[in-house]
Amino acid sequence: MDLYKRFVEKSIEAFILGLEIYNKPTIKYRIEGFSFFVCNAWELMLKAVLIREQGHSAIYYKDNPDRTISVSECVSRVYPDKYTRIRLNLEKIIDLRNISTHYITEDYEAKYAPLFQACALNFCNEMLRFHSTDITDYIAQNFLTITASYEPLSNEQIKMKYPAEIAEKLIKQANEIEVLTNEYDSDKFAINIRQNLYITRSKDDADFCIRIDKDASTRASIIKELKDPSETHKYSYNNVIIAVRERLAKRNIRFNYEKGFNQFVLTQFIDFYDVKLNPDFSYEHKIGKQSHYTYSQQFIEFIVEEIRKNPTGVVESLRRGNEHKKR
């Protein structure tokens, strides 16, 4: 059989096997299992693309012709734009596959399920686009839906259940997925399955009714509470860069720094405004002798507003200010 056709057929088999593992309720290793097989499915499918377009040699490393390229290399070659939502989704799932042997991840199923659902539909669409193959010829449409348990542990429960190092890793991963899902706002990156409740005065628009009793004997009031920095400061250093870029684009703010908003610019903001000393903007996580910072939504909004006010000169102004502070 032609190698191209074998890759396509094996890809479909791996994809269906991943779905079967994930949707089988008796299997606890489903997140890891799905990530292994869906990455394999994408690797085979994308290698088939390369074989058809560039020949068999395209899937081998030039300096090692006995070894085929990795799934990450396949993804970067077929989707050269690193901001393509399909590529971003795949890279997150590849990361999950790579850490599954080191960290327990089943407790964060609700965080990964939206990425898995988008990945499954992306695979079907790309298989049809690249190889004119309809997955529903092999598996019924309703089996393409990810069935997930939506009872995630809170960050506090995660900290109680796992050692500090693993808990910190799980919380960081979950926060990163949540942040990127909100920023990218694309069903090619993540498809959320959730219910939202809204209060409306129009009875015709309501699914059910509630009544507020002003004469109730029990009164309610808003109280202040301690906030978990894992909830309030969710942005890693790299995610701050992504979030600012996305928001500048969405608000059509023309940032006139030639290299765009990058690590250099973010560092200028952090140094000039002493961000690491401001608890509203940053939080230092300490585990043993190691530490790292995460940042708040408020910090993202602050940066975007400062750029909006001075899109041409803000970087130079920050740079001069930081040089003056060092004197």
- 126 and 275 together in one domain: no
Kindly tell me if the per-residue pLDDT of 203 is higher than 70. no
Indicate whether 205 belongs to any domain. Answer: no
Average pLDDT over residues 60-67: 87
- 136 and 272 together in one domain: no
Q: Which of 132, 159, 184 is the last residue of a domain?
A: 184
Indicate whether 262 belongs to any domain. Answer: yes
More confident residue, 186 or 107: 186
- 39 and 106 together in one domain: yes
Cα separation, 106 vs 253, whole angstroms: 40
Cα separation, 319 vs 324, whole angstroms: 9
Kindly tell me if the per-residue pLDDT of 222 is higher than 50. no
Query: Model confidence at 185, in pLDDT bands (50, 70, 90)?
Result: confident
Cα separation, 324 vs 32, whole angstroms: 51
Indicate whether 268 belongs to any domain. Answer: yes
The residues, any chain, with a CB within 8 Å of residue 204's CB and separated by 6 or more, are none
Average pLDDT over residues 180-203: 70
- 179 and 274 together in one domain: no
Q: Which of 184, 209, 239 is the last residue of a domain?
A: 184
pLDDT for position 36:
93
- 0.85 surpassed by pTM: no
Average pLDDT over residues 300-322: 92
More confident residue, 159 or 83: 83
- 148 and 232 together in one domain: no
pLDDT for position 299:
93
- Helix, strand, coil shares of the chain, percent, nearest 5, are 60, 5, 35
- 11 and 82 together in one domain: yes
Indicate whether 29 belongs to any domain. Answer: yes
Q: Which amino acid type is present at position 201?
A: R
Q: Which of 130, 158, 184 is the last residue of a domain?
A: 184
- 178 and 315 together in one domain: no
- 287 and 233 together in one domain: yes
pLDDT for position 229:
66
Indicate whether 204 belongs to any domain. Answer: no
Indicate whether 132 belongs to any domain. Answer: yes
pLDDT for position 215:
57
Indicate whether 189 belongs to any domain. Answer: no
Per-residue 3-state assignment (H helix, E strand, C coil) for 160-218 = HHCCHHHHHHHHHHHHHHHHHHHHHCCCCCCCCCCCCCCCCCCHHHCCCCCCCCCCCCC
Indicate whether 215 belongs to any domain. Answer: no
Domain that holds residue 144: 3-184
Query: Model confidence at 225, in pLDDT bands (50, 70, 90)?
Result: very low
- 271 and 169 together in one domain: no
Average pLDDT over residues 134-162: 78
- 106 and 247 together in one domain: no
Residue 283 bridge partners (DSSP): 294
Mean residue pLDDT of the chain comes to: 83
- 20 and 165 together in one domain: yes
- 29 and 132 together in one domain: yes
Number of domains in the chain: 2
